Structures are given as structure tokens and as C-alpha cells.
Amino acid sequence: MIDKLIQLDTELFLYLNNLGTPAWDGLWLAITAKLTFVPLYAILLYLLYKKFGLRSLLIFVVVIALMITFTDQVTNLFKRTFERPRPCRADGVMDQMRFIAERCGKYGFFSGHASNSMAAAIFAGLMLRTYYKNLIFILLFWSAIVAYSRIYVGVHYPLDLICGLTFGAISGFMFYKLSLYLLKRFGKTEN
């Protein structure tokens, strides 16, 4: 059963990865770059500040730092535990795929980009849902695009993304709940 799942995952990866063309490579490399969305994060922090105030923003910054550290460390733990080679290092896959990323890490299960972007989307979307009811849907779409970029550039399988997005959603919700608790105790909450 696991072998069949891995085979299907590989086939879906090759199909999706090979949809790419040189005309779109620059866009997808920009989407997958770590610093591309710093302005989005700054806007989200500004919206949190605007709606909750400075004291609460300081709580959010600490909680977000903890959330990103948590998702990164758990992602690394899974990568080292499962040791699933990235597609760009997998025999029988790397010769059939398009690889345009700047580098190819050793292991790829599960995607840190997917988990971090989804955690941020869930966290910010839930914190701001009272004020911007459609923001969470925009952020979920953004997270899915970031996740797909990892297939496009050739460094993650679809299953890596599904697991990363799922873990990110759980993490984002947990840290949202932690923020509500801390806001009730130490800050101002309007949520």
C-alpha cells in the first residue's frame, strides 16, 4: 500500500512538475523565494496592530516567532526521521523532471514552505476574521500557491505538500488559540 502511494505521488509530481515552461520559471522562483512575501507579513502585522494595538502586537510577534520556530523544527525532525530524498535527488525521478531551484536539499518530507505559509495563513486569517471576513480565503489561496511552487521548482512531492499544509493548519490553529489566551491575560482582545 505504501509503495503504491509513493508511486502515485511520484507520478503526480512528474506530471505537475513537467507542466512548467521556461516562460513561467522566473515567476515561480520568485514565489518560492523566502523573502518574497516579507511585505505581506508586514501588512498582516500592521493589520494586527491596527485592530489590537501595540501591546497585543508584541504578544503576536512573540507567538508568531514561536509558531515559525515550532513548524521549522518539527519539519526538520520529520525530514531527518523519514529521510525521503527530494525528487531532485531521487534516482529514476531526477532524470525525468524539470529542476529550476537554486539548490536541492537532501530530504524533503514534509515541506517547510507549505507548513510555514499555512500556519501564517490560518493564524492571521483567524485573528483578523472579525474585521476582514474574506482574508482567510485569500491567505489559504496564497499558501496553496506557495506550496505548489515547491513542485514547480522540483524540490517536493505532492504528498510532502499535503502533509506540510495539514501540519501548518494544525500549528496555525494551536498558536491562534495560544494568542487568544495570552491576549485575554496580558493584552487587549476584540476577537
**Tens-digit pLDDT profile for residues 18-32:** 999 999 999 999 999
Task: Give the containing element (helix H, strand E) for 144.
Answer: helix 135-152
Q: What is the mean pLDDT of the chain?
A: 94
pTM exceeds 0.85, yes or no: yes
143: Cβ contacts below 8 Å, ≥ 6 apart: 114, 117, 118, 120, 121, 165, 168
pLDDT per position as a tens digit, 66-85: 999 999 999 999 999 999 99
Phi, psi at 113, each rounded to 5°: -60, -45
CA nearest to 153, candidates 36, 42, 25: 25
Q: What's the confidence (pLDDT) of residue 188?
A: 62
- For residues 164 and 190, which has the higher predicted lDDT (pLDDT)? 164
**% of the chain exceeding 90 in pLDDT:** 88
Side-chain-facing half-sphere of 99: CA atoms under 13 Å: 15
Segment 39-60 mean pLDDT: 95
